[in-house]
Structure 1
Amino acid sequence: MEREVQMRHMFEELTGYESRDVKLKMDGYPASPMQIVQAHMLREETVYMRDYILDERGNVKELCFHRVTNK
């Protein structure tokens, strides 16, 4: 149940970014809020790092998720 709530909150957060024309990417490719949430749900053991790209005024213009791997 807790995981479902977290994923719902993540979806709402990402949808909010998308509505403000913030580009969403996952591992370098454009992704929708649903694609990002599904990847987090299906790959529970995988860790993603967020990378916030700002414009010249300091507003978020792009949000990227990068898969973190142990080498």
Structure 2
Amino acid sequence: MDKKEKQLLHRELETYEDMGVLLYLNGRSTTPKRIEKAYRIAEDGNYMRDYIQDESGKLQAVSFDFVKN
């Protein structure tokens, strides 16, 4: 992950956090910092995102799950 990608991810995660959107990493509640670290050290795979909405379609949570290549 290069510097620009890291900055974009950081801003995105902070925006979610400011909106009150819950963040999950591999099924566990987490922080933007832990997701950023996971992205930096990921080897032999990548993270898939799952956007979770409530009944009205409002974004409620984002789940990041590791997927092996």
Q: TM-score, normalised by structure 2?
A: 0.89
Letter in 1 for 2:54: D
Give the unaligned 5+ runs of structure 1.
none
Letter in 2 for 1:32: T
Contact 1:40 1:46 in 2 (8 A): no
CA RMSD of aligned residues (A): 1.5
Give the unaligned 5+ runs of structure 2.
none
The answer to whether the aligner puts 1:30 opposite 2:29 as a matched pair is: yes
CA-CA distance at 1:31 after TM superposition:
1.1
Percent identity over the alignment is: 33
Distance, in Å, in 2 between the alignment partners of 1:3 and 1:68 is: 20
CA-CA distance at 1:44 after TM superposition:
4.4
Letter in 2 for 1:40: Y
Q: TM-score, normalised by structure 1?
A: 0.87
Q: CA 1:8/1:25 → structure 2, altered by over 3 Å: closer, same or farther?
A: same
